[in-house]
Amino acid sequence: MIVWCPADRQVMWQQNHCGIFRSTNGGADWMDVSEPEGPANFGFAIAAHETNPEVAWVVPGVSDIMRVAIDNSLFVCRTEDGGKTWQALRQGLPQGSAFDITYRHALDVSGDPLAFGTTTGNVYLSEDGGDSWDLLNHSLPMVHSVEFATI
């Protein structure tokens, strides 16, 4: 999955089976911005801030082989410095017995609000850039895609 900052199309973010990567020159070169010893290392979903090219979010999972939430806790990681550091955002998300993972197209951002859906049918919304989350629904089938509507 590759996304870019709409305000600076030279800044691209990629989340794949090998980690998290960032390009500041339109994809000509990529830098690994994964946390080798931290949770922001593997997952599928990534979102880029619309106006700040330094900010992105990922929903991490254990690994390609073990597609579940890390330590059975669901959280979103955010960087505000171009991937140099990552912060785990947990407020409002299940911190035990969570087996969720988020597919590539199931995380979206629109200004401050972010939303993501999981393989276990949960949909969460944050209206403060990921600092806190609210459960919108927990009884859906597997969520493959989440997108904010433009009106």
Please state the rounded mean pLDDT for residues 71-91.
97
Establish if 143 belongs to a structural domain. no
Residue 79 lies in a domain: yes
CATH code (residue 123) = 2.130.10.10
> Looking at residue 45, what is its pLDDT?
93
Q: Is residue 142 part of a domain?
A: no
For the chain, how big is the Rg over CA atoms in Å? 14
Longest dimension (CA), the chain: 42
Domain assignment present for 148: no
φ and ψ of 57, to 5 deg: -130, 145
Domain range for residue 69?
A: 2-137
Structural domain count of the chain:
1
The pLDDT value given to residue 146: 96
**Most confident by average pLDDT, 26-35, 41-50, 65-74, 142-151:** 26-35
Task: Let me know if residue 44 belongs to a domain.
Answer: yes
What is the pLDDT at residue 1? 84
pLDDT band of 66, cuts 50, 70, 90: confident
**Angle at CA 7, nearest 5°, toward 11 and 123?**
85
pLDDT band at 2 (very low <50, low <70, confident <90, very high): very high
